[in-house]
Amino acid sequence: MAERIVEPQELSRSANELLVMAALDRGAGHGYQLALDVEERSGGAFRFNHGTLYPILHRLEERGLVAGSWSDNSSGGRRRKSYALTEEGEKHLVAEREAWREFFRRFWPMVEEER
């Protein structure tokens, strides 16, 4: 544990995926709602471009970290694809949080003002 650190070059991908996975962990359902959730919860600080969000969800699904399922729209209602973390996704989320903590623990002393 706490071995691998997030490398700067993968920070963007990692941060966005973590935001998505954490939102799903909180119970967010489909993509569009997830985007609203993140925006609202962050007070507008974090916003997902749809052209960014959907590829992320597809990527995570392909890697088996989230499972998507189309809602049954026989009783009317818009088509939606709901996502949930898989068991592997839960583990990955824990590991990614730890990787970020570790990254920051290492990164900050490197850029902090000299005393």
Partner DNA sequence: CTCTTTATATCGACTGTCGATATAATAAGA
Partner DNA sequence: TCTTATTATATCGACAGTCGATATAAAGAG
Q: State the binding partner of 50 from its own copies, DNA, none, CB within 5 to 8 A by kind.
A: DNA
Residue span 63-92 as binding mask against DNA, x where in contact by CB under 7 A, dash where not: ----------x--xxxxxxx----------
Question: What is the number of H-type helices and E-type strands within the chain?
Answer: 4, 2
Q: State the binding partner of 112 from its own copies, DNA, none, CB within 5 to 8 A by kind.
A: its own copies
Q: State the binding partner of 63 from its own copies, DNA, none, CB within 5 to 8 A by kind.
A: none
Distance CA 78, CA 100 (A): 37
The beta-carbon contacts of 56-63 under 8 Å, at least 24 apart in sequence, are 56/16, 56/17, 56/20, 57/20, 57/31, 57/83, 59/17, 60/17, 60/20, 60/21, 60/89
User: Is residue 13 part of the contact set for DNA (CB under 7 A)?
Assistant: yes
Residues forming the site for DNA (CB under 7 A): 7-10, 12-13, 16-17, 30-33, 48-52, 54-59, 73, 76-82
